[in-house]
Each structure stands twice: as C-alpha cells, then as structure tokens.
Amino acid sequence: MRTDFTAGQLADPQTAASAAAIRKCVHCGFCTATCPTYVLLGDERDSPRGRIELIRAMLERGGKPTKAEVTHVDRCLSCLACATTCPSGVDYGQLIGHARAHIEAHYPRPWLDRLLRAALPWVLTRPRRLKAALALGRSAQGLEPWFRRLGLAPLAALLRLVPAPARAPRGVGTYPAVEARRGRVILLQGCVEPVMAPQVRDAAVRLLARAGYDVVLAEGEGCCGAISEHLGRGREARDMARHNVLAWGHLAPDAIVTTAAGCGTTLKAYGHLLGQEGVHVAARARDVLEFLGEVGLPPIANATGLSVAYHAPCSLQHGQRLLAQPARLLAEAGFEVRMVPEGHLCCGSAGVYNILQPELAGRLRDRKAANIARTGAAVVAAGNVGCMAQIAPALAAPVVHPVELLDWATGGPRPQALDRLVRAQRRSL
C-alpha cells in the first residue's frame, strides 16, 4: 500500500515503523476471512485491510481523528488473527497500537467513555482495588437490567462478569523445587487472575516445583502493562513495564513464566516497549505451557483420559504463535484433546473488549460457546483468565486453566471446577 508521510512525520520512529508496516500490505484480502469483526459485520472498514487503509489516512492527516475512524479502530479486538494469516508479514500489532495511542492523544471521547477508560486500568491493575470493585459489583448485580435499559451497556457487561468470591492466592516468596532442582523461575503474579481464579497460581507453583524449579513470586512486582496498552495508554504501560524490570533486576531467573497468555504477549514485547532496558525480560518471558513444553512435564501419575476441548487464546496462538504445544502437553498428560472448530476466532474477551464493546463481544462468546459445545468434550481448557471468565457463563461444561489439568495429572489435586462433573458421573454409574 502506498504511503505519503512527510519527512518530518517519518522522523518519529513510531510513524516510520507504521509506514513500513502499511507499505507491506498488498491488498490481497486473505486476512478478511479470519477477522472476527469482518466475519460478524461484513464491513470492509471492520476488516484488517480496511483498518490499515483507515489508519494510514488518519496518521498521514494527523490531528483529530474522525468519529468513523475511532469507531472502526475501537471495534478491533487486537486479536492478531490477521497477522497470523497475512502472507506479506504486515505488522498489524504495530499499526493498531499506534492507532489507539493516536486516538487517545487526539480524540475527545464523551465523558462517560473517558471515565470508564481511566477507571479500568486504575481498578484492574491493582488486585486490592479489583477485589473491592467485585464485592461492590456482587451487591449491585440486581441492577444489571436497569443499566442495560439506561444505555449503560459497559456497566451492565461488567456486572455480568463478576464471579463468585474466591479465596486469597498464595503470596510473595520462593517456593522450592520438590524434585531434583534444575533452576529458578519467576512466576508473574498478574493482577486479574489472582482475584478471579487464584487456583491457577497454586496449580502452576506445584507443577513448576514438581518439574524441578524454585518458583519466585517477586516482591514489588506490578501489572505487566497489557491493560493500559490495550487502551492506547502507552506511557502508563511503559511505566508499569519499567517498574517490573526494576523489581526483577536482581533475581537472575532462568525464565519469567506467566499463566495469563495476554500478559505473556506483553512481556515478550518489553524490548519493543522499553528498548534495550526491556530486551532481557522479553528474552526470558515464557508462557507456562511453552516453558513446560521446553523443559518437559513431571512424570504422569494420573492419566484420566478425560475429554478436553482446548480453547486457544488469541494472545497465545496469534500473539505468541503457540498453538500446537499446549494441546500436545495435555495429550501427553493423558487427556483426550479435542480442538475447537473456528479456533482462530476470538471469544470476545480481548483484554477489556467485552466491557467496552459488549454487543460484539457477546456475539463472539455465543459463537465460541456453540463451537466448543460441538466438540462434546467433558471439560474446557483455556490458558487465559480473560477467556475463562468470558466463556464460562455460556457453557455447561466446566472451564479450567490447562495448568490445573496438568497439575492434577502429575500428582496435584483435582481442579475444584470438576467436582460437579465427577458427582454427576458417579450418579450415572
């Protein structure tokens, strides 16, 4: 695609990177077939190719974006299915990140939208605040239909996502290897997962310790910056990333492991975000399933043969290009893995997309739930807390993180979410 940036504009490294990405696009349209918003809406401006054209015009013109430009960029999930499909290697992640930052800097959003976009990182990146907000949400759940009727769809969507209260996860410290020690890893604590699904951290610590690693939950670590980046708040994301680089600086781990695929994608982009300062972290960042694939599972103690539908989070399959590895690990651990039809399509979670775009996110969730149900599997495994929270209410089968299943197969406790399933199986005997 031709670009017409001025020499002055190209002096900015971000604009130069975006111009290079735009010029790679040859308009072939292969990406449209795998873009969830194009599949749902059929509008070229909601396809990757259409958005690239729209972003080009917006950046070349500079200044205030039009309402239409904002609408179509906002509708993008940042799922990066397009980047996986593109035969020309267009760096769509660069383009959408730049577009969101440009809109954030130059577009005056309505006050309620602004308030929500400022409140989301403020609440979601601090587990204590999130816990308090969830408690408040639980007591206000009866108001959800009223919010919907008043046109406050994002608030109604937030209330629908509020889970039942969970116990506190294990705290900072070093959890020693239980088998012959092979090294030391930092396990990213995250901010949403420990509040919504604390059992995932427990399972990951047990599993990694059984694989021979000391597991460090580091003091002073904070949010990886993913949520702020999703909202186009680049400076905030960079500050968070820098904070973590400092918090981990003295630990010299073999790997920095994460159980939330969205966080893993952001950690791997620290070099891009911080330059030289972040390269060290990016090189050591591993999704927990990727890391276990590299170092090997502990011996299997309990091969159940249970059928598992593997839901591949976009941040893992498109953001980190890890598709086969998680399913392979589950199979190796004795589960019967069933892949989900249309697995490349996002479930609608996408960071805070299900709060900001509840209507489209709801349609994607229902489509994903129908595809998962088609597998007939007894359990669903999804390696990202956002996906787990998004799809679980639409499914009859329990939804767990793959590390919960791997922990169980290698000697850990059965995931609590399976209790109901096991009771029902016992009753039918």
Residue with tokens 């996110």: 361
User: Smallest distance from the beta carbon of 342 to ligand SF4, in angstroms?
Assistant: 13
Q: Rule CB under 6 A: is residue 50 a binding residue for ligand SF4?
A: no
For 347, the 3-state DSSP assignment is coil
Tell me if residue 257 falls in helix, strand or coil: strand
- Options 31, 124, 211, 405; binder of ligand SF4; rule CB under 6 A: 31
Among 26-34, 136-144, 266-274, 384-392, the segment contacting ligand SF4 (CB under 6 A):
26-34
3-state secondary structure of 47: coil
HSE of 394 in the Cβ direction (CA atoms, 13 Å)?
Answer: 22
Among 5, 22, 36, 381, binds ligand SF4 (CB under 6 A): 36
Q: Which two tokens stand for residue 367?
A: 């489509």
Please identify which residue in 18, 19, 51, 144 interacts with ligand SF4, judged by CB under 6 A: 51
Does residue 28 bind ligand SF4 (CB under 6 A)? yes
- State yes or no: residue 48 binds ligand SF4 (CB under 6 A): yes
Stretches 33-41, 63-71, 116-124, 384-392: which one binds ligand SF4 (CB under 6 A)? Answer: 33-41
Partnered with residue 174 across adjacent β-strands are 216
Number of chain residues interacting with ligand SF4 (CB under 6 A): 26
- Between strands 307-311 and 285-287, the pairing is unpaired
Residue 416 neighbours by CB distance under 10 Å:
11
Q: Does 84 sit near ligand SF4 (CB under 6 A)? A: no
Is residue 230 close enough to count as binding ligand SF4 by CB under 6 A? Answer: no
Does an H or E element contain 185, and which? strand 183-187
Taking CB under 6 A as the rule, does residue 26 contact ligand SF4?
Answer: yes
Nearest Cα neighbor of 286 from 180, 415, 389, 403 is 403
Q: In this structure, what token pair is assigned to residue 206?
A: 């047990």
In the complex with ligand SF4, the residue whose CB is nearer, 78 or 189, is 78
Stretch that binds ligand SF4, among 34-42, 123-131, 164-172, 230-238 (CB under 6 A): 34-42
What number of other Cβ atoms are within 10 A of residue 321's Cβ? 11
Applying CB under 6 A, which residues contact ligand SF4? 25-31, 35-37, 48-49, 51-52, 76-82, 85-86, 88, 90, 92
